[in-house]
Copies of this chain bind each other. A is one copy, B any other.
Amino acid sequence: MLIDMLHQYQTQTKCLVALDSIIFGFDGHELKLLLVKRGIEDEHHTWSLMGGWVQPEESLEQASNRILFELTSLTDIYLEQLHTFGNPMRDPVERTVSVAYFALINVEDYDHKISKNFEAQWFSMQELPQLLFDHSAMVEMAIEHLRYKASQHPIGFELLPEKFTIPQLQKLYEAIFGAELDKRNFSRKLLSTHLLVKLDEKQKGFSKKGAFYYRINEEKYKKQFNTFLNFLPNGIA
């Protein structure tokens, strides 16, 4: 027995499809989340994730890149689909299915380019305000995913400038996991991947000795992306 598909297309109720971005940033000390203010009748001036509607002619990936660009003017951002949220009551205005993407950007890049069309602000993960709808659940899931992902891949790069030092990267990992790591073991494990290229330049102004900058070996990184490593001591996560 076959399903009469064409009939079904016509009788189905359609649904609004939105997209929300969980945007993580790192300022050198703390992990941060980028939020925007939204004005909605009942809930005026609530902070929320940056979001938007999926347009008729664009894919979800395109929509997520567009929406991120509208806010930050950044392209080539690490962006990954996280989960789709579709509870009928999640948006009290009208039923909306929202596809959540999570993004990693470095705060420096962003600050130059912020769009004035939005009232946006970085929040420490420790001090998040009340969020719109089910956005808190999205953030929760995103941080969990970030932890998992960072524990398996050296994904932390994406949150740092192109040139970064190993101590910076370590601080980032410590911020993500809320735990202290041993610098000797961390740098050994990291360098053993051969994904980092040491530069001649040293970081100035922060420490007296100065730490060497590294950059990522893009090619090798892409090739090895699906290689599972283990960036964490066993006790954590």
Contacts and interface: CB of A to CB of B under 8 A. Distances in A.
Interface stretch (A26-34, A57-65, A160-168): A57-65
Interface stretch (A3-11, A106-114, A175-183, A201-209): A3-11
A3 B83 CA distance: 24
A41 interface: yes
A97 to B, nearest CB: 5
A137 interface: no
Interface SS of chain A? loop
B9 A93 contact: yes
Given A45-B2, A97-B97, A15 B54 contact: yes
A119 B5 CA distance: 14
A16 B12 contact: yes
Interface residues of A, number: 48
A38 interface: yes
A81 interface: yes
Nearest to A5: B40
A118 B3 CA distance: 8
A206 B107 CA distance: 62
Contact of A17 (B2, B40, B57, B86): B86
Interface string A45-79: 10000000111111110010000000000000000
A188 interface: no
Contacts of A17: 14-15, 17, 86, 97
The 6 closest A-B pairs by CB, nearest first: A2-B39, A14-B14, A60-B86, A84-B84, A15-B17, A12-B53
